[in-house]
Structure 1
């Protein structure tokens, strides 16, 4: 129980957080709780219940410290490392590790939101080794379109077992749901967080994608001389302008609606005939004719201008793919997709 001014120094971070929440009033506290996970609310609530009587001077010091820290901070830069350092000052290592694993994992407030952001092939690969009943619970909780993609990737006999369990399943009891969440958190999400750090080859490929063609080739050649395997992996991960030729008609039309119109004739001026025909065939006859006339009228174009326009189109394509509006085929195989 905190009774005297001198006791303020002995407060840990959780106690300070509990005091702060208690001091801001019920309406504000309710809004704060809405932004927290259930386990965070439980921890703070437990601490609040055990605080006892708190001296007004202690609360005043708490707000003075809080205000001082906020006003003296200046520009804030949040990183995984700074967050981990801060948590380490108030929580034990095992708790910090658990929180950081969740942060590094897929986004989402609840476990089911997080699963919705896990690629279906990754989730299916994990679930195929679980009990059919566990998989049935998971598929009943995620969005139907995501569940359908996961189900299609499971072994057929196993998938049918899951379907039969889902047909017989009524409302899922809370203790069963809690058990499934615990398995997913401890066995799947924690491992996913450890392995989801960005691949270095992917990072280099993205950088190389933004180089002009001469610099790109120079660096790739130099990398190939030092480490052929790494060079091949980077090359396979790179997405180039010519790869837009793998877009389906709907994807081409979506891209055409989103790019700057003055970039298209310059970009296509340096494109292969097949890629040029793909874009022209997905335009109206009038628009196609106008584009051809624009390309013919502009005469010779500098290589640098062509490359800049092509890079701009690739960038827009990647942004659309990230939003799920188009699908870009990966060089690894015709059936694999980049989102």
Structure 2
């Protein structure tokens, strides 16, 4: 491509979409409205995503792109494109619902492109969707993912199906662009949309996590006040909360995993303020020598503030949740058939 007369060298690193994005960012709401209103949703999303990832744009590039408006922007040293500036720009141009949908789409689950978004979906969830797709489609998708993530997804697929996918990947040469576009569109309309709906959380779950993070006295005060104003809501939140006391319902093998992974001073502090039954549960998950050392550490601490014990107990709960999310323990009723340790 030949360089135009007067074109600044810095412009070379900007693609056509990025140049359009920088121009629209510079035009702002007032001058940009007629342009934005002529674009369809896909074009708006593409330009919005590009604006959000622009970062700093040198003034010489801005002035060149603006052309006849260079006098107005000659004092500008840089522009800064971000998700926030993109959202503010769109709010003055489009209806709130369209702005929300577009921003959610370009932010995605921590990714700018469909493949970035897909790389942030757990291998189990993605494999569960892909196992019902055609092996050739799966082969195309796995080739677009990062190798480590693709490997985990492949391992989660049924063995025979995974082998067929590998054979397709070995035979596949350059995939035509229109095929990639079609696969992306299918992922967007079928998988990502359904995933987004599935991930919408009950607000009571969010509040339960929030209350779990509060100190004990604040938690009790807030739930007590909620009992008076909305007893049914308080009951639902309590049912969803996972507390230190709930650890007593775990299988002994799950307690052993927690003990192996926790900070031993945190454990000593947590048990220092725990009832004797809870202490016996944790001591029983340890070797006799380790249990004696822990008891000695607890005795050596002397008096400790209740809030320190509560904080340590909260950290153990957080650890248990993390272990549960990683599949190392199951936070379920031990009498349930689903309560298994992996």
Residue matched to 2:167: 167
Residue matched to 1:276: 282
Shift of 1:201: 1.8
Shift of 1:205: 1.1
Q: Which runs of 5+ in 1 are unaligned?
A: 1-21, 71-76
Q: In the alignment, is residue 267 of structure 1 matched against residue 264 of structure 2?
A: no
Q: In the alignment, is residue 189 of structure 1 matched against residue 189 of structure 2?
A: no
Residue matched to 1:17: none
C-alpha distance in 2 between matches for 1:42 and 1:268: 50
What's the RMSD between the two structures over aligned residues?
5.1
Closer, same or farther in 2 for the Cα pair 1:143/1:53, shift >3 Å? closer
Shift of 1:193: 3.9
C-alpha distance in 2 between matches for 1:100 and 1:132: 32
C-alpha distance in 2 between matches for 1:274 and 1:117: 41
* Alignment match of 2:240 (pick from 231, 236, 241): 236
| Matched position secondary structure for 1:84 | helix
| Count of aligned residue pairs for this structure pair | 287
Q: In the alignment, is residue 26 of structure 1 matched against residue 11 of structure 2?
A: yes
* Alignment match of 1:292 (pick from 265, 277, 295): 295
C-alpha distance in 2 between matches for 1:199 and 1:327: 25
C-alpha distance in 1 between matches for 2:341 and 2:94: 42
Give the alignment's TM-score, normalised by structure 1.
Answer: 0.60
More contact order relative to length (CA 8 Å, sep ≥ 6): 1
Residue matched to 1:330: 331
| Matched position secondary structure for 2:110 | coil
C-alpha distance in 2 between matches for 1:111 and 1:220: 41
Closer, same or farther in 2 for the Cα pair 1:103/1:238, shift >3 Å? farther
Shift of 1:204: 0.6
Q: In the alignment, is residue 255 of structure 1 matched against residue 262 of structure 2?
A: yes
Q: Is the 8 A contact 1:137 1:172 kept in 2?
A: no
Shift of 1:146: 4.6
- Render the CA deviation track for 1:185-222: whole Å, top value 9, x for unaligned: 23332443455455412221112112344554565577
C-alpha distance in 1 between matches for 2:255 and 2:145: 28
- Render the CA deviation track for 1:15-34: whole Å, top value 9, x for unaligned: xxxxxxx768236748x969
Shift of 1:290: 3.9
* Alignment match of 1:130 (pick from 124, 130, 133): 133
